[in-house]
Chains A and B, each alone.
Chain A
């Protein structure tokens, strides 16, 4: 069988094939030779319209035999031959035709199946590529998100570190200020007393100068150049007083330093600030876990987060120190009209009525010297006021509540706290 000479692309395998279709896939030269050999006469293969497809066109009156495929006559074999020869030639032709039909049907069906398989493969390939693209995109998004998270964590760590650093620097500075303040206090006081004593001695010296009481005493007085010494003594004391005043100023500066450098104001989410501050406080309180956070959602507040954080840290540390290990500290954040209220409540023994009026005084502390700053609440109140807010104290033998009020639309007092 030859390669089919016509296209079967658009065909259906189950269609009715015409005689022409089938002859198209037969080696007609060979068939022609065989039919001629059997018939030994001119012959014609006609389709159902009488058109000659093979052999030579012949008279319609000649003997003919129908070519029937699938119950239908689709053409005729016409030849001027004996019936027996015609029969034989018909059989020969039909056997070739059946093979041709099988070939046509099988190849058409096969083509359809292959195209279908190919199409399926292409679809699968497309789906695969699609999913690959999606995964790639997802991967990229994931990577970006991981990077974002890493950045966030780094920033949070940095903030934490910075807050801790600020806190410890503040503590150190305040501690040093406190330690120096006491000795410089009594030094200055003693120097003033010494100067007073010296003035009295000068009065006595003047009497000695005017009168000659005793030659031996006069000689000794002038031999040691005492008048000049007394004059110098005055200057020495003045210099020392000036020095102690300078030390006192340095201590005051240290206080300023402990309150951090000037910081930019920003809209701050107080709840996260409270959380991170609570974390720092917990670390510093060493193992104290009883912190209860009751944080409402409030709008971001324009403030200097470093200062506010420091104030909160000081309040929290006080609260931790007021309660025993099993005690509880509650941090609440609420909003009332145009203000936010941060409440830090402990269930400790409360503040005594003697101490209560003094707690905001600078250097007032109930702690052992060196353990506390004595500046905590003072600084806290300064910070609150600098933000247009205030600190309130409510205390009873069953606990203390410190409330830090901040206005929502703060007009920051730009003077240093």
Chain B
């Protein structure tokens, strides 16, 4: 739930990177942290983990200032992917304004992807969000690996859904910014409907996205 603080002229947005364990959610954030050049970029907070596993969450704040002085702060979170941490995952997901579903492209991960996506839809409902209204982008990560599902198969499988499907290699920094760009595009539409960003703050979609991404060098 986007939070608008009128007295401080500040809009706080929460985006969540969701997905099965070790699909590259934290790597996505780390990659964004290193390649983004937004107007305002905070430090990335990672909570110490054991064996590459996120126990609670990672957090990367980015932001922009509109001409009217409106401060838009976007907090990017990751959830822990392990099945056992469902309550934590649910708590992290609550109040989200958008979701990137990071799937693992490897052939042997199809079941995990599906289980995690079903878990996402279940948790979305449990925290009181509506999947139909929630900006969501699906990212198939680890495209640099061998033994991965064919893009055509993935695209065909997701064709009937309303969600854009992106391909990435977070380790190599490929497709990560594109994924966030796609999500910010959908997100802008929602925010503009509610807060009249274009009208009241002279902030159109490309300005919104570009200022947040800082025209990062995309490969």
Do these two chains interact? yes
Q: Which of A101, A110, A117 sits near B45, CB closer than 8 Å?
A: A101
Q: Are A113 and B91 in contact, CB atoms less than 8 angstroms apart?
A: yes
Q: Are B92 and A109 in contact, CB atoms less than 8 angstroms apart?
A: yes
Binds B, one of A9-17, A184-192, A341-349: A9-17
Q: A-facing mask of B73-86, CB < 8 A → 1, else 0?
A: 10101000000010
B residues near A72, Cβ cutoff 8 Å: 71, 73
Chain A interface residue bracket vs B: 20 to 34
A70 within 8 A of B: yes
Residue of A nearest to B10 (CB): A72
Q: Are B90 and A116 in contact, CB atoms less than 8 angstroms apart?
A: yes
Q: Which of A71, A101, A109 sits near B56, CB closer than 8 Å?
A: A109
B residues near A12, Cβ cutoff 8 Å: 95
Contacts A70-B42, A106-B47, A109-B92 given; does A14 touch B14 at CB 8 Å: yes
Within 8 A of A (CB), among B122-156: none
Least CB distance, A91 to chain B, in whole angstroms: 13
B206 within 8 A of A: no
Q: Which of A13, A16, A114 sits near B12, CB closer than 8 Å?
A: A16
B residues near A16, Cβ cutoff 8 Å: 12
Residue of A nearest to B14 (CB): A14
Q: Are B87 and A105 in contact, CB atoms less than 8 angstroms apart?
A: no
Q: A-facing mask of B1-28, CB < 8 A → 1, else 0?
A: 0000000000010100000000000000
A410 within 8 A of B: no
Q: Are A70 and B73 in contact, CB atoms less than 8 angstroms apart?
A: yes
A residues near B91, Cβ cutoff 8 Å: 13, 109, 112-113, 116
B residues near A70, Cβ cutoff 8 Å: 42, 61, 73, 75
A120 within 8 A of B: yes
B residues near A13, Cβ cutoff 8 Å: 57, 91-92
Q: B-facing mask of A105-139, CB < 8 A → 1, else 0?
A: 11001101110110010000000000000000000
CA distance A109 to B16 in the complex (A): 15
A102 within 8 A of B: yes
Interface centre among B59, B63, B77, B95 (most CB of A within 10 A): B59
Q: Which of A71, A102, A106, A113 sits near B73, CB closer than 8 Å?
A: A71
Contacts A113-B88, A117-B87 given; does A102 touch B12 at CB 8 Å: no
- CB-based A-B contact count at 8 angstroms: 56
B residues near A116, Cβ cutoff 8 Å: 87, 90-91
Residue of A nearest to B12 (CB): A16
Interface centre among B85, B88, B92 (most CB of A within 10 A): B88
Least CB distance, B93 to chain A, in whole angstroms: 10
CA distance A69 to B42 in the complex (A): 8
A residues near B92, Cβ cutoff 8 Å: 13-14, 109
B residues near A98, Cβ cutoff 8 Å: 43, 45
Q: A-facing mask of B86-104, CB < 8 A → 1, else 0?
A: 0110111001000000000
Residue of A nearest to B91 (CB): A112
Q: Are B87 and A71 in contact, CB atoms less than 8 angstroms apart?
A: no
Residue of A nearest to B46 (CB): A102
Least CB distance, B200 to chain A, in whole angstroms: 21
Within 8 A of B (CB), among A69-84: 69-72
CA distance A114 to B56 in the complex (A): 12
A residues near B41, Cβ cutoff 8 Å: 71
CA distance A209 to B146 in the complex (A): 152
Shortest 6 CB-CB contacts between residues of A and residues of B: A113-B87, A116-B87, A112-B91, A113-B88, A70-B61, A71-B63
Q: A72-B71, A106-B56 are in contact. List 19 more A-B contacts (CB 8 A).
A: A14-B14, A14-B92, A14-B95, A16-B12, A70-B61, A71-B40, A71-B42, A71-B63, A102-B47, A105-B47, A105-B57, A105-B59, A109-B56, A109-B88, A113-B90, A113-B91, A114-B87, A116-B87, A120-B87
**Can you give 17 A-B contacts (C-beta < 8 A)?**
A12-B95, A13-B91, A14-B75, A70-B61, A71-B40, A71-B41, A71-B61, A71-B63, A101-B45, A102-B47, A105-B45, A109-B56, A109-B88, A113-B85, A113-B91, A116-B90, A116-B91
